[in-house]
Amino acid sequence: MELLDIFVEGRPRTKGSLKPIVNWSTRKVRMEEQVKDSKAWRVAVSNAAVRAITDEIINGLKLKEGYPHHGPVIVSMTFLIPSTGRVDRDVESPIGRQYGDLDKLIRNVLDALTDARVYADDSQVITLACSKKYANVAVGGVMGVAINVRTRAGG
């Protein structure tokens, strides 16, 4: 059963490491994202997922029946990354550091889907198929990520 099938437009951002920031006067530590716009991208993905899995009611939103899903899920993602314009013609996929590590791009989206309550926890993902490709923005290509989440057959 398909749980989610969306495209989120925007520049995909990685989920980087968290950096501890210490307030010496209060002796409190807060964790801060090290990747610029990482949190904003995660919120954009989460908001798109919420719109897809909720029904509008008078005073807010209500999750559709079956959300969050509590069983195993299969997730596929295709990230469309902007070209820098200095692309080697023999390379079809973005592999430079400026495009981000695929595993960190994935991590940000999986966390966003947990935030949106598509599934209860990203530990439920049993199969993950992901890729990153160039979005040829020069000819109208759109940056973003295509996301599909479904239950395993018979589950």
For residue 40, give both structure tokens: 């904003």
Per residue in 28-66, pLDDT (tens digit) is 887 777 677 888 999 999 999 999 998 766 667 788 888
Q: How far apart are CA 11 and CA 17, in angstroms?
A: 19
Per residue in 89-136, pLDDT (tens digit) is 545 565 555 567 899 999 999 999 999 999 999 999 999 999 988 887
pLDDT at position 154 over 60: no
- CA dihedral sign, ordered 4, 10, 11, 17: negative
CB 30 within 8 A of CB 21: yes
Domain residues for the domain of 115 are 2-151
Residue 37 sits in a domain whose CATH number is: 3.30.1330.70
Q: In terms of Cα–Cα distance, which of 7, 2, 108 is closest to 51?
A: 7
pTM of the entire structure? Answer: 0.80
Structurally, how many domains does the chain consist of?
A: 1
